[in-house]
């Protein structure tokens, strides 16, 4: 009897078998999601492979070609220092996407951890964790981001260096302030799944809580986590761009899309292309990611 029950539990717990295949089917049924996936693929491919072909340095200063409009030699023009905008856009894309993905990992990890514990155990633990979640939701994010970065950026720069220190600070802060929606989604799914028969059977045969969460519950909400992850990446890219635009992001010699917009703000009238291309890169990247997330949500 125990063997039969164990086999039943295992079979029921692995219901999301061909997840990536099912995800691709859902994306194909949604035109916006498919368009978003194609746009994101083009953007990532350009950021990764185009620098192998377009070898113009992005850090070379030449005041003789300052704020030069787009041309064959400089397809996206140059900035106020005469630096090539296309080269800086590609370099900044790698930084912005890395920040977005890294901050998403932090947010998904914290949100899944809090949501899983709250949803599985319930009771007092659930109440305490959800009140903490409510507190984080009530915090004004942008002022808090600015305050924390202002207080800790110099300390982290001294410890890890200018680039790595700011990267760690931005990733951790964005992730820590964006896990709450993930926690609520995971908690709601756990509250529903823990009442199902295969979870009761797993408890009856003596499975420990960690085994139940890791083997039986998390695989069944993986699609929800993936959807939340796609939306978190777009939010993190926008947040990093906002910080860079306000001058509190990476150092000036490290281009990001937000930093390029910050540098272009004084040249909107005379050289609008300086703001057009990085702004368009942020817009298309976030839009494509949101299209993918919306497609997975509507078809899940």
213-262 pLDDT, tens digit each? 888 888 888 888 888 888 888 888 888 888 888 877 788 788 889 888 88
Question: How high is the pLDDT of residue 299?
Answer: 52
Q: What is the DSSP letter of 250?
A: S
- 143 assigned to some structural domain: yes
Average pLDDT over residues 87-114: 92
For residue 8, pLDDT beyond 70: no
Question: How high is the pLDDT of residue 39?
Answer: 93
Question: 267 vs 14, which has greater pLDDT?
Answer: 267
For residue 1, pLDDT beyond 50: no
Whole-model pTM above 0.75?
A: yes
Strand partners, 78: 84
Q: For all residues of the chain together, what is the average pLDDT?
A: 84
**CATH number for position 150:** 1.10.3720.10
- 124 assigned to some structural domain: yes
Contacts of residue 73, Cβ cutoff 8 Å, sequence gap at least 6:
none
Query: Could you tell me if 137 and 180 are in contact, meaning their C-beta atoms sit under 8 angstroms apart?
Result: yes
Closest CA to 167 of 243, 225, 111: 243
Average pLDDT over residues 199-212: 84
For residue 29, pLDDT beyond 80: no
Average pLDDT over residues 189-209: 85
Q: Where residue 180 falls among pLDDT bands split at 50, 70, 90?
A: very high
Query: Could you tell me if 201 and 9 are in contact, meaning their C-beta atoms sit under 8 angstroms apart?
Result: yes
Q: Where residue 269 falls among pLDDT bands split at 50, 70, 90?
A: confident
Question: How high is the pLDDT of residue 23?
Answer: 65
For residue 149, pLDDT beyond 90: no
Phi-psi region of 56 (alpha: psi -120 to 50; beta: other; left: phi over 0): beta
- 198 assigned to some structural domain: yes
Instruction: Report how many domains make up the chain.
Output: 1
Q: Where residue 9 falls among pLDDT bands split at 50, 70, 90?
A: very low
* Burial classification of residue 83, based on how many CB atoms lie within 10 Å of its CB (0-12 exposed, 13-18 middle, 19 or more buried): buried
The per-residue DSSP string of 182-221 comes to HHHHHHHHHHHHTTSHHHHHHHHTT--HHHIIIIIIGGGG
Q: Please, how many CA atoms are within 13 Å of residue 201, restricted to the half-sphere of its CB?
A: 17
- 125 assigned to some structural domain: yes
- 13 assigned to some structural domain: no
Q: What gap in Å lies between CA 103 and CA 167, rounded to an integer?
A: 10
For residue 24, pLDDT beyond 80: no
Question: How high is the pLDDT of residue 5?
Answer: 42
* pLDDT one-digit tens code per residue, 281-297: 999 999 998 888 877 76
- 8 assigned to some structural domain: no
The helix, strand and coil proportions of the chain, stated in percent and rounded to the nearest 5, come to 80, 0, 20
* pLDDT one-digit tens code per residue, 70-88: 989 999 999 988 899 999 9
Tell me the two tokens of residue 105.
Answer: 């990992």
Question: How high is the pLDDT of residue 129?
Answer: 94
Q: What is the dihedral of CA 95, 99, 100, 104, to 10 degrees?
A: 160
Tell me the two tokens of residue 77.
Answer: 């023009």
- 28 assigned to some structural domain: yes
Give me the residue label for tokens 């856009």. 89
Sign of CA dihedral 57, 60, 63, 66: positive
Average pLDDT over residues 7-25: 52
Domain that holds residue 47: 24-51+84-299
Give me the residue label for tokens 């999601």. 33
- 110 assigned to some structural domain: yes
* % the chain with pLDDT above 90: 33
**Residue length, the chain?**
300
Question: How high is the pLDDT of residue 27?
Answer: 67
For residue 150, pLDDT beyond 80: yes
Average pLDDT over residues 147-171: 87
For residue 139, pLDDT beyond 90: no
**What is the end-to-end Cα distance of the chain in Å, rounded?**
35
Q: Residue 88 to residues 97, 199, 223, 237, 274: CA-CA distances in angstroms?
A: 14, 52, 35, 17, 11
Question: How high is the pLDDT of residue 22?
Answer: 65
Question: 262 vs 12, which has greater pLDDT?
Answer: 262
């Amino acid at each position: 009897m125990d063997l039969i029950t164990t086999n039943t539990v295992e079979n029921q717990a692995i219901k999301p078998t061909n997840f990536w295949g099912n995800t691709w089917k859902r994306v194909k049924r949604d035109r916006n999601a498919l368009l978003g996936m194609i746009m994101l693929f083009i953007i990532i491919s350009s950021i990764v492979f185009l620098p192998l072909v377009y070898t113009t340095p992005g850090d070379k200063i030449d005041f003789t070609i300052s704020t030069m409009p787009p041309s064959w030699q400089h397809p996206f023009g140059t900035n106020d220092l005469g630096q090539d905008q296309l080269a800086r856009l590609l370099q900044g894309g790698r930084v912005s996407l890395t920040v977005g993905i890294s901050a998403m990992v932090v947010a998904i990890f914290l949100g899944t951890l809090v949501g899983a514990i709250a949803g599985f155990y319930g009771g007092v633990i659930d109440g305490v964790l959800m009140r903490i979640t409510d507190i984080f939701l009530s915090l004004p994010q942008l002022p808090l981001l600015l305050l924390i970065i202002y207080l800790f950026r110099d300390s982290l720069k001294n410890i890890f260096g200018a680039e790595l220190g700011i990267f760690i600070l931005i990733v951790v802060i964005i992730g820590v302030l964006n896990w709450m929606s993930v926690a609520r989604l995971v908690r709601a799914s756990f509250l529903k799944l823990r009442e199902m028969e295969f979870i009761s059977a797993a408890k009856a045969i003596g499975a420990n809580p960690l085994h139940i969460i890791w083997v039986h519950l998390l695989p069944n909400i993986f699609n929800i986590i993936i959807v939340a992850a796609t939306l978190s990446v777009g939010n993190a890219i926008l947040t990093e761009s906002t910080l860079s635009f306000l001058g509190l992001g990476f150092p000036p010699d490290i281009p990001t899309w937000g930093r390029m917009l910050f540098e272009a703000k004084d040249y909107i009238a005379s050289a609008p292309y300086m703001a057009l291309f990085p702004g368009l890169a942020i817009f298309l990247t976030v839009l494509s990611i949101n299209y993918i997330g919306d497609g997975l949500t509507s078809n899940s």
